[in-house]
């Protein structure tokens, strides 16, 4: 990954954007795609779209998408002693939240806090359970309820305060690889495809995926494209502790994952596999029989049905503060999705024939 692309990825990772509060990261994403776009637009909730027009004699349009939001928490109450009560924002994991540094994102700026954890010396380790998020609390240092309410408001979002870190072997760990990996790929595939593709190429960065694919639902019906490649992280199961029944064979460093299932259109899958083979890009396959759990599920039904493929970036430790990916997989995913866009006209139309 060259320096400019690496800087963009790290800037996306270090810009907080919990679900429903994606404005800052969407602005940074638009800055990256605008120089290559003929048009950009943003809807009322912050979904961002960039369009590069293809050959006027070519009718095919293909989209590469990712979602910008990350999981977190929200302030649901304040105790009389000045501690903050929590609620989940997306699928936050109660087993890793206690003892974490967090940042509360208020209208007046960031407020630092910690998710409290009673010291091991003061609790019965053999009998302890893991309390629900709603039973956990954040300490912002406030002396009492009045001071806490001066600092924060009910409904303020918060994220874990964990900076990206490089690991040996060109791996990178961060709290929000899910799904800054996907929006980075959407921007980078767009950059690589523009000027090479006869098809019109669209890049999309959606909001509120972690709370129910809402952004994709908002834009999917009006996108009007022939095929959608939705890029999100997918579970790498090559680390210790993964239950045997959940093991898929997906590993870091072995390339992007092409899902196969009810959401994933067979003709788009076949085209992506051919593109990957011709470009000598290693890919992995994963079964998704009842859906992908990504924006692809919404894009596939948008516009009365749009041929869609969920493309996964292998990711260890999903929905923890240490989500881990291989930078080589990011590069390969961008190259595959760009190559698909460049060759899309040759495969269109993608619909099944009866």
Task: Give the catalytic positions in this structure.
Answer: 209
Q: Which two tokens stand for residue 183?
A: 């929006």
Strands 84-89 and 137-139: antiparallel
d(CA 216, CA 46): 11
Show Cβ contacts of residue 213 under 8 Å, excluding neighbours closer than 6 positions. 294, 295, 297, 298
Contact status, residue 201 vs residue 62, Cβ threshold 8 Å: yes
Backbone angles phi, psi at 63, to 5 degrees: -120, 145
d(CA 324, CA 328): 12
b/e sequence 304-327, b meaning 16+ C-beta within 10 Å: eebbbbbbbbbbbbbbbbebbbbb
| Nearest in space to 180 (alpha carbons), one of 341, 338, 327, 332 | 327
The DSSP result for 253-285, as a single string, is TS--EEEEESSB-HHHHHHHHHHHHHTT---EE
The answer to whether the annotation marks 319 as part of a ligand binding site is yes
The answer to whether the annotation marks 232 as part of a ligand binding site is yes
The answer to whether the annotation marks 210 as part of a ligand binding site is yes
The answer to whether the annotation marks 107 as part of a ligand binding site is no
Residues placed in the known binding site:
67, 178, 210, 232, 319
Residues placed in the known binding site for Zn(2+):
67, 178, 210, 232, 319
């Amino acid at each position: 990954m060259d320096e400019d692309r690496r800087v963009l990825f790290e800037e996306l990772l270090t810009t907080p954007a919990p679900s429903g509060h994606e404005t800052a990261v969407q602005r940074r994403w638009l800055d990256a795609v605008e120089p290559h776009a003929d048009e950009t637009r943003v809807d009322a909730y912050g979904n961002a779209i960039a369009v590069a027009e293809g050959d006027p004699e070519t009718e095919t349009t293909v989209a590469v998408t990712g979602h910008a939001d990350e999981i977190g928490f929200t302030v649901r109450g304040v105790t009389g002693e000045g501690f903050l009560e929590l609620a989940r924002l997306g699928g936050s994991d109660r087993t890793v939240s206690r003892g974490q540094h967090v940042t509360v994102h208020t209208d007046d700026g960031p407020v630092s806090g910690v998710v409290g954890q009673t010291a091991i010396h003061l609790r019965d380790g053999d009998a302890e359970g893991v309390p629900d998020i709603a039973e956990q609390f954040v300490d912002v240092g406030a002396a009492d309820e009045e001071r806490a309410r001066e600092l924060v408001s009910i409904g303020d979002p918060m994220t874990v305060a964990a900076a990206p870190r490089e690991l040996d072997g060109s791996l990178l760990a961060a709290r929000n690889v899910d799904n800054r990996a996907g929006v980075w790929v959407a921007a980078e595939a767009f950059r690589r495809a523009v000027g090479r593709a006869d098809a019109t190429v669209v890049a999309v960065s959606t909001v509120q995926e972690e709370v129910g694919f809402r952004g994709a639902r908002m834009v999917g019906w009006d996108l009007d494209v022939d095929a959608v490649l939705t890029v999100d992280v997918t579970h790498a199961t090559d680390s210790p502790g993964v239950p045997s029944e959940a093991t898929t064979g997906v590993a870091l460093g072995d390339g992007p994952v092409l899902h196969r299932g009810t959401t994933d259109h067979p003709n788009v899958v076949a085209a992506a596999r051919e593109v990957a083979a011709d470009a000598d890009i290693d890919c992995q396959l994963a079964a998704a029989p009842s859906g992908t759990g990504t924006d692809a599920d919404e894009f596939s039904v948008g516009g009365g049905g749009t041929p869609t493929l969920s493309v996964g970036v292998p990711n260890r430790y999903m929905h923890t503060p240490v989500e881990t990916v291989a930078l080589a997989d990011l590069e390969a995913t961008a190259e595959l999705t760009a190559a698909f866009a460049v060759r899309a006209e040759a495969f269109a139309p993608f619909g099944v024939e009866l």
